[in-house]
């Protein structure tokens, strides 16, 4: 207790965050028992009868559920491959700018899209990519036919990745720029004296210096592989592309609010998603450690 009192200012600063996590992350976990019950609204969660594992049996019998799992893995594996590297490249590019004012302006410009909701982003997409939008208007000026970007399943995934890059790269790059700022500047000066080019300094100093940060962000991204992208896909998909974008969270939303409401069934699906996310997080962490990385989870 004496140590706590001695460091009371630190604990006071931690208190709001700890209270938030307790109230909104740990307490709601009690509702997971709904996955093992048959929910009756008049009885409540505690009073509803137990159903054992029957909800999970129904889950795995639903072909739409299995399809949504594979669709989620496909789309979010694409995010890891195509979206994840962009913040790193952006941070490296901004770091090479020597003019301080230009660097600050670019940081602001690239970070701003993160504060736009996906509702606004989808509206911007409609204005640019609809059949009567800006892009198709330019295409028609050159005598070509318009392209139905928003109503074409073949262009749906590219739009998902491009809009995700545009919206999130600037914000995520801040983490890597903070890591770059912690690299010893004497290394750059020594490399410059030895005649190393900018690309050589990036490859041999900057990237190794931010490697632990890249690894941690990669492991965390793997841990969210089954739950990324609901807000985005919910807002940019339509009746034509909905099947191409029915990830697991979209499936949960549909069976909970658009079909016959069954909260026990949707809770079972959500619990399955969380277990898979945790398993992927642990596997990614162990793989990183096998290749000599520090990983995220302590031994």
* pLDDT score of 169: 93
Q: Does residue 215 lie within any of the structural domains?
A: yes
Average pLDDT over residues 5-23: 88
Q: Does residue 32 lie within any of the structural domains?
A: no
Average pLDDT over residues 137-166: 86
188 Cβ contact list (under 8 Å, min separation 6)? 201, 205
Q: Does residue 214 lie within any of the structural domains?
A: yes
Q: Does residue 36 lie within any of the structural domains?
A: no
CA separation for the pair 250, 257 (Å, rounded): 10
* pLDDT score of 170: 92
- Our count of domains for the chain comes to 1
CA separation for the pair 201, 185 (Å, rounded): 11
Residue whose tokens read 């049996």: 57
Produce one character per residue of 247-262: b if its CB has 16 or more CB atoms within 10 Å, e if not.
Answer: bbbbbbeebbeeeeee
- The residue range of the domain holding 203 is 46-290
* Percent of the chain whose predicted confidence (pLDDT) is above 70: 96
The token pair that represents 35 in the structure block: 């996955």
CA separation for the pair 46, 29 (Å, rounded): 14
Between 5 and 234, residue with greater pLDDT: 234
* pLDDT score of 130: 83
- How does residue 155 score in pLDDT terms, banded at 50, 70 and 90? confident
CA separation for the pair 68, 65 (Å, rounded): 5
pLDDT at position 17 over 70? yes
* pLDDT score of 179: 92
pLDDT at position 76 over 60? yes
- How does residue 295 score in pLDDT terms, banded at 50, 70 and 90? low
CATH of the domain at 97: 1.10.3720.10
Kindly write down the DSSP assignment for every residue of 244-271, as one continuous string. Answer: TT--HHHHHHIIIIISS--HHHHHHHHH
């Amino acid at each position: 207790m004496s140590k706590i009192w001695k460091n009371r200012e630190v604990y006071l600063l931690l208190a709001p965050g700890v209270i938030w996590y307790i109230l909104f992350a740990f307490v709601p976990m009690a509702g997971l028992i709904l996955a093992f019950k048959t929910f009756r609204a008049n009885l409540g969660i505690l009073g509803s009868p137990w159903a054992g594992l029957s909800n999970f049996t129904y889950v795995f019998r639903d072909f739409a559920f299995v399809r949504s799992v594979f669709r989620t893995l496909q789309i979010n594996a694409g995010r890891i491959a195509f979206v994840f590297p962009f913040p790193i490249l952006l941070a490296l590019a901004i770091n090479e700018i020597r003019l301080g004012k230009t660097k600050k302006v670019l940081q602001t410009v690239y970070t701003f899209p993160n504060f736009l909701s996906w509702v606004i982003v989808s509206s911007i997409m409609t204005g640019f990519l609809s059949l009567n939008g800006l892009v198709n208007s330019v295409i028609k000026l050159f005598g070509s036919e318009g392209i139905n970007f928003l109503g074409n399943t073949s262009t749906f995934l590219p739009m998902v990745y491009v809009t995700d890059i545009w919206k999130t790269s600037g914000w995520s790059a801040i983490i890597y720029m903070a890591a770059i700022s912690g690299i010893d500047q004497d290394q750059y000066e020594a490399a410059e004296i030895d005649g190393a080019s900018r690309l050589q300094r990036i490859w041999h100093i900057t990237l190794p210096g931010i490697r632990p940060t890249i690894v941690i962000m990669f492991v965390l991204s793997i841990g969210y592989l089954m739950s990324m992208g609901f807000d985005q896909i919910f807002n940019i998909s339509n009746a034509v592309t909905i099947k191409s974008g029915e990830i697991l969270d979209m499936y949960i939303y549909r069976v909970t609010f658009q079909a016959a409401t069954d909260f026990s069934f949707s809770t079972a699906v959500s619990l399955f998603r969380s277990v898979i996310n945790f398993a992927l997080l642990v596997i990614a962490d162990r793989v990183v450690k096998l290749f000599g990385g520090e990983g995220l989870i302590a031994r």
